[in-house]
Amino acid sequence: MIDLVTLALPFLHHGASHADSGVVAARVAQTRHEEWVRFLEGWRDFFLMTGTAAVTLAGLLFVAISLHIEALIHESREHLLGLARAILFSFVMVLTMSLMLLMPAQSMRVTGAEMMMIGAIFAAMTLRQLRTGTTDHPDFPKTLFRRRLIPTLIGYAAIVAIGAALMVLRAPEALLYVMGAFGMLLGNAVGASWDLLVRTAKIKRRAGGGAG
């Protein structure tokens, strides 16, 4: 008579091997998570700096808008308000991403998913604004408006791509490209702010001269 224990041994070994592989996979996942947390911790100062820069520039934008609010809310100058909105989106995007990446103990997959979602939302809002277009104005043509929005879209698309690399490819080095995305968003927003202030001042000066 065949020993039942002998018959059961292969199944027992098979179950044990499955259990061992599960333990190994869990340990590998835990090790990857710990490495990712340490990697992200090294970026803490960078995200503190970008978040601070974004909120400071957004505050200065509000001050500048308040000084020229009468020129911006005029119906014939909707394009100026649209540019101000696009600039604010860029600052809010960098601030939101910086705060999100400062959150402790997030997994790489969750971080990537958040980056993809936030980047896609801001890209959709900016794309809608770009498609809606703006009326031509002697001091602010459509080409300038589009030229300021296209780099913003590229920055948002880069953030979505970085998020996809983190979520799907599990490649933490993809986060290095966030420096370029943030730099493009902040740099373009600062340049657009300068255009907005200078052209608004010209419009107000011309309107004041005409009234005089």
The SS3 of residue 19 is helix
- Nearby residues of 112 by Cβ (< 8 Å), 6 or more positions away: 162, 163, 164, 165, 166, 167, 168
Q: What pTM was computed for the model?
A: 0.81
pLDDT at 12: 47
Query: Helix and strand tally (H, E) in the chain?
Result: 7, 0
Per-position DSSP letters for 90-111, written without gaps between them: HHHHHHHHHHHHTSTT--HHHH
Q: What is the CA radius of gyration of the chain?
A: 26
Counting as low any pLDDT under 50, the low residues of the chain are: 1-2, 4-5, 7-9, 12, 211-212
* CA neighbor of 50 nearest in space, from 184, 194, 153, 197: 184
Position 45, amino acid: D
What integer pLDDT is reported at residue 65 of this predicted model?
A: 82
pLDDT of residue 212: 43
Q: What would the pLDDT profile of 85-125 be if each residue is shown by its tens digit?
A: 899 999 999 999 999 999 887 899 999 999 999 999 999 99
What type of residue is 150?
I
